[in-house]
Structure 1
Amino acid sequence: MPRNRRLISLVLFLVALFVPSLARAEPAIWVVKGPHATVYLFGTIHALQKSDSWHSPKIDAAIQQSQALWLEIPNVDDAASMQPLVVQLGMDKAHPLSTKLTPDQLAKLNKAAASAGLPGGEAMLESFRPWLAALTLSLVPLMQAGYDPNTGIEIELKPEFVKANKPVKGFETAEQQMRYFADMPDKAQVDFLSSELDDYDSTVDKFKQMLAAWSAGDTDALDKLNNAEFRDKYPDLFQILVVKRNRAFTAQIQDLLKGDGVSLVAIGAGHLVGKYGVPAMLEKQGYKVTRQ
């Protein structure tokens, strides 16, 4: 089932950023303190090249001090178990994808599928719902450029905590994460796909720009590159896929801060920047969020 396994990887590792070479990276990390608890916030990258190194002294110190790791989903390394969900939520054989698109959108889809080298071209996507087609086409160019979801930061972080007998927990389940996309109205899903098709030829160039911002810890630039266009062009989608999730992350982090111990929260970097990012939301709730 190589194709299915690859498809699942596309779905599971696609809610934030993808970056190239990380030589001498110094990504941003924040700390928030409650009465008896400390939470570190680290923005992750979900797909890297095998040679990339993202560790820094500040990140390593946070890993060492933390007694638990919180990811978006805890079983981030178990793509095979997600296959039934992908079929259930991402496939629609009764309503071919091409019937949901305008002639212009279909022409762009055909071009992108051919450029991606998908077996059978656009025909491979006919049974996909628009959200799944969008995610697939957003990742394929990056994988072709050598970036592998199996070398993402979460995949590398989790074994460090497991080896140290520290618990690894998740804010969401895989089904919850997929349903953010699958439960969108059809029009919103088509808008999402259309946005990916419009930017398809510039996908790799854009994430290289994001790399420079992420690796330098330039959160303003990262917010502009990762969120601004999405926020302005597709505000309803931005509310569903970013703001709604950030509010849920923030509420759960507040619960951590009411407890005790030290936790490392490692979620997609796009969720931690800008006025709708988790640090900003925590500050609005009265917490002091300190950049390390």
Structure 2
Amino acid sequence: MRRFGYLLPLALFACSPAPRQAHPALWRIEDGHGHEGWLFGTIHSSDRPLEWRTPAVDGALKQSGAILVEVGNLADEADVAATFARLARSEGEPPLSRRVAAKDRPALAALLEKSGHADGDFAAMDTWAAALTLARAGSEDADARNGVDRAVIASAGRRPVVELEGAAAQLGLFDALPESEQRDLLAAVVAEAAAPDRDLAGSWRTGDMKAIEQETRSGLLADPELREVLFTGRNRRWSGRIAQALEAGQKPFVAVGAAHMAGPQGLPAMLTAQGLTVTRVE
């Protein structure tokens, strides 16, 4: 799903054309005691490779002592898929058309047809997992192998790669949602797939955080419960770990979905509220 391209690296799996230039957003964080680190907003999938290592980003990476990411084993698709399958497993679930409101059923039928699925194909899958599976049909041109998270991890060299979350924990957020919220998620996926396409990747490439913040106010993140679980709560937990890494002198380079950097509940704002100095440098 297009919005999930900013938010969750596990939502999508797909000869790429020529690389596309990008100037994504980058921040420096400092604690006033000589410790520094960086926040880098990523995109988790792309229709083609991305030239994202600007001089500022490259310099930050070279100075960093540890790489902090949402999920560390993104390149191990088999392991991630196995984790998804284990958590997604269910029994005797109703057809998807019975898990959405009547008004959403025509759009759901169109998405099912596009994805090659039938209404009853998800009887052995939780609603959240069906939603993420169908989200792939809404982003058929996006390939997670072009995701910047993977490229950052690949560039780590001998520096430690530290997971802020991990695959099991990230998918576990969905698995722990009440069924009513899982159905809200499914409805959001259906609505997103039916909406006119927007160049959200373009907003990331130009570092347009205003446009990215607007996206965090709509769709699934407009739902207060989903927003707390998938956005605000995660940022709150991550900001604490980032501050600890900074103050321990680890010089962290934090690479997470660009949506997590946006607005008053984004990581730059949360870290500023904790007394750190956060400066956008690109």
TM-score using structure 1 length? 0.84
**Does 169-178 or 134-143 show the bigger shift?**
134-143
Q: Does the Cα contact within 8 Å between 2:242 and 2:252 map onto a contact in 1?
A: no
Cα distance in 1 for residues equivalent to 2:79 and 2:58 = 30
Q: Does the Cα contact within 8 Å between 1:65 and 1:262 map onto a contact in 2?
A: yes
Is 1:288 the counterpart of 2:277 in the alignment? yes
**Number of the residue aligned with 1:57:** 55
Deviation, 1:103, is 4.1
Distance 1:105 1:93, change over 3 A: farther
Structure 2: segments with no counterpart, 5+ residues: 1-7
Deviation, 1:88, is 2.6
Deviations 1:196-218 (A, max 9, x none): 11221236x13x1x223222212
Deviations 1:36-91 (A, max 9, x none): 43110001111113343222111111111112111101112112113342223212
**Number of the residue aligned with 2:234:** 245
Q: Does the Cα contact within 8 Å between 2:112 and 2:119 map onto a contact in 1?
A: yes
Distance 1:71 1:97, change over 3 A: farther
Task: Tell me which of 227, 236, 248 is aligned to 2:225.
Answer: 236
RMSD between superposed Cα atoms in Å: 2.3
- Aligned AA for 2:110? K
SS at match of 2:67: strand
Deviations 1:1-25 (A, max 9, x none): xxxxxxxxxx85339xxxx997432
**Number of the residue aligned with 2:207:** 217
Cα distance in 2 for residues equivalent to 1:136 and 1:270 = 21
- After TM superposition, the structure 1 = structure 2 runs for residues 14-163 of structure 1, keeping only pairs within 5 Å, are 14=11, 23-34=20-31, 35-98=33-96, 99-116=98-115, 118=116, 120-143=117-140, 145=141, 147-161=142-156
**Number of the residue aligned with 2:5:** none
Distance 1:21 1:287, change over 3 A: farther
**Number of the residue aligned with 2:193:** 200
**Structure with the largest fraction of helix:** 1
Deviations 1:138-195 (A, max 9, x none): 232322x2x211121111121211xx31111101121110111110100001011101
**Where does structure 1 differ by over 6 angstroms across 4 or more consecutive aligned residues?**
none
Cα distance in 2 for residues equivalent to 1:238 and 1:69 = 26
Cα distance in 2 for residues equivalent to 1:242 and 1:100 = 24
Cα distance in 1 for residues equivalent to 2:49 and 2:248 = 38
Distance 1:233 1:73, change over 3 A: closer
Q: Does the Cα contact within 8 Å between 1:96 and 1:127 map onto a contact in 2?
A: no
Q: Does the Cα contact within 8 Å between 1:12 and 1:79 map onto a contact in 2?
A: no
Q: Does the Cα contact within 8 Å between 2:20 and 2:49 map onto a contact in 1?
A: no
Deviation, 1:27, is 1.0
Distance 1:152 1:276, change over 3 A: same
SS at match of 1:127: coil
Cα distance in 1 for residues equivalent to 2:95 and 2:175 = 14
SS at match of 1:125: coil
Seq. identity, % = 27
SS at match of 2:68: strand
Query: How many residues were matched structurally?
Result: 268
Q: Does the Cα contact within 8 Å between 1:71 and 1:265 map onto a contact in 2?
A: yes
